[in-house]
C-alpha cells in the first residue's frame, strides 16, 4: 500500500510542476506561493480538532521542517520560472542522492544490492541530464541549477523528518501544523520585505487553486505512507521520481520544449533505477 501512496504522490508532484509553471505566467513567485499555501491551509483546517491534541514538544521540529520547505519552495519556484519544466523535473531527481544518504546515516536503513544498483542508475541519469553542454543548450544559468539543488537537499531533509515525525504525530496533525507554520513564515516575510502582493489578481488565477488541491492530496498520501512502519525513505525517494516522466511529457506536448528525446533517455535510465530499487 505505501508504494502506491508514494507513487500517487510522485505523479501528483509531476503534475504540480506543470501547474506551477502555468500559474507563474500570470502572477509573481511570491503571489503564487502565498495564496497557494493559504488555500492549502484552509483545506486542512477541518483537522484542527485533532491537531490540537499533538504533544507540544513536536511543534519545534515541525516548525523547523516548515522553515526549510519555506526556503526550498522559494528557490524551486524561482528555478522553475526560469528553466524548462522538463529539465527541472530531471534535475530535481538529484534529491535521491541526498535522501538516500540521510536515510542511511540518520535512520540506519540498509542499502540492499538492488537499492545500490538502482541508486547508481538514478545518479547516472541525473548526471547525464546536468551535463554542461545540455545546460548551455537550454540557456540555464549555474545559479538557477544551484537553486534547484539546494531545494532538493532541503526537500530530502524534510522527507527524513516526515518519517521520524509520523512515528509520534498523525498525518492530519503534521499537515495542519506544517501548513500553519508556512502561513506564519510568509506573513513575516511580507512584513519584513514589504513586498506588494496582488491578492485580487492571484485569486483569479485558477492554476493556483488547482496547485493547492494537488498539494494537499499528494502530501496527505505521503504522510500516510511515512506512518507505515515498513516504508523506507531510501526506496520512497526513488519512487517519488516517477514525477520526471510527467514533466518531460508536459515539456514536449504542452510547453514545446527542446531536447525532449535526450531528457527522456535520461529519465528512462532513472526509471529503470527506480524499478530495480523497489524489487
Q: What is the 3-state secondary structure (H, E, C) of 182-210?
A: HHHHHHHHHHHHCCCCCHHHHHCCHHHHH
Q: How confident is the model at residue 93 (pLDDT cuts 50, 70, 90)?
A: low
- CA 195 vs. chain centroid, Å, equals 25
Give the residue with greater pLDDT, 210 vs 256: 210
Contact call for residues 82 and 140 (beta carbons, < 8 A): yes
pLDDT at 187: 92
* Residue 128 DSSP label: H
pLDDT at 137: 59
Once rounded to an integer, what is the mean pLDDT over residues 161-185?
94
pLDDT at 50: 94
Winning range, highest mean pLDDT, from 81-95, 117-131, 222-236: 222-236
Q: Where are the domains of the chain?
A: 2-277
Residue 186 has pLDDT above 70, yes or no: yes
pLDDT at 209: 95
- How many percent of the chain have pLDDT more than 90? 35
Residue 239 has pLDDT above 60, yes or no: yes
User: Who's near 36: CB < 8 A, 6+ residues apart?
Assistant: 23, 208, 211, 212, 215
Contact call for residues 273 and 120 (beta carbons, < 8 A): yes
What global pTM score does this model have? 0.79
In whole angstroms, give the CA distance from residue 225 to residue 181.
Answer: 22
Q: How confident is the model at residue 108 (pLDDT cuts 50, 70, 90)?
A: confident
Once rounded to an integer, what is the mean pLDDT over residues 97-126?
78
* Residue listed under C-alpha cell 542522492: 97
DSSP-derived 3-state class of residue 231: coil
pLDDT at 6: 86
Once rounded to an integer, what is the mean pLDDT over residues 72-98?
79
pLDDT at 196: 87
Average pLDDT, the chain: 84
Amino acid at each position: 500500500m505505501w508504494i502506491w501512496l508514494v507513487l500517487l504522490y510522485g505523479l501528483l508532484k509531476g503534475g504540480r510542476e506543470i501547474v506551477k509553471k502555468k500559474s507563474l505566467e500570470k502572477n509573481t513567485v511570491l503571489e503564487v506561493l502565498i495564496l497557494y499555501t493559504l488555500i492549502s491551509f484552509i483545506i486542512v483546517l477541518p483537522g484542527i480538532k485533532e491537531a490540537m491534541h499533538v504533544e507540544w514538544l513536536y511543534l519545534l521540529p515541525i516548525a523547523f521542517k516548515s522553515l526549510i520547505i519555506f526556503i526550498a519552495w522559494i528557490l524551486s519556484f524561482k528555478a522553475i520560472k526560469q528553466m524548462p519544466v522538463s529539465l527541472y523535473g530531471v534535475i530535481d531527481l538529484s534529491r535521491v542522492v541526498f535522501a538516500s544518504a540521510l536515510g542511511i546515516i540518520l535512520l540506519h536503513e540498509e542499502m540492499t544490492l538492488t537499492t545500490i544498483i538502482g541508486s547508481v542508475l538514478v545518479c547516472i541519469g541525473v548526471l547525464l541530464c546536468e551535463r554542461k553542454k545540455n545546460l548551455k543548450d537550454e540557456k540555464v544559468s549555474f545559479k538557477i541549477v544551484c537553486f534547484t539543488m539546494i531545494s532538493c537537499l532541503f526537500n530530502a531533509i524534510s522527507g527524513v523528518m516526515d518519517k521520524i515525525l509520523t512515528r509520534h504525530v498523525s498525518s492530519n496533525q503534521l499537515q495542519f501544523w506544517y501548513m500553519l507554520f508556512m502561513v506564519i513564515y510568509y506573513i513575516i516575510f511580507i512584513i519584513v520585505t514589504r513586498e506588494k502582493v496582488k491578492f485580487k489578481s492571484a485569486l483569479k488565477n485558477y492554476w493556483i487553486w488547482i496547485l493547492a488541491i494537488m498539494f494537499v492530496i499528494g502530501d496527505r498520501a505521503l504522510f500516510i505512507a511515512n506512518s507505515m512502519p515498513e516504508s523506507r525513505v531510501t526506496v520512497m525517494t526513488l519512487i517519488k521520481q516517477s514525477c520526471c516522466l510527467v514533466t518531460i511529457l508536459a515539456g514536449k506536448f504542452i510547453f514545446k520544449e527542446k531536447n525532449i528525446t535526450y531528457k527522456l533517455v535520461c529519465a528512462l535510465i532513472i526509471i529503470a533505477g527506480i524499478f530495480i530499487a523497489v524489487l
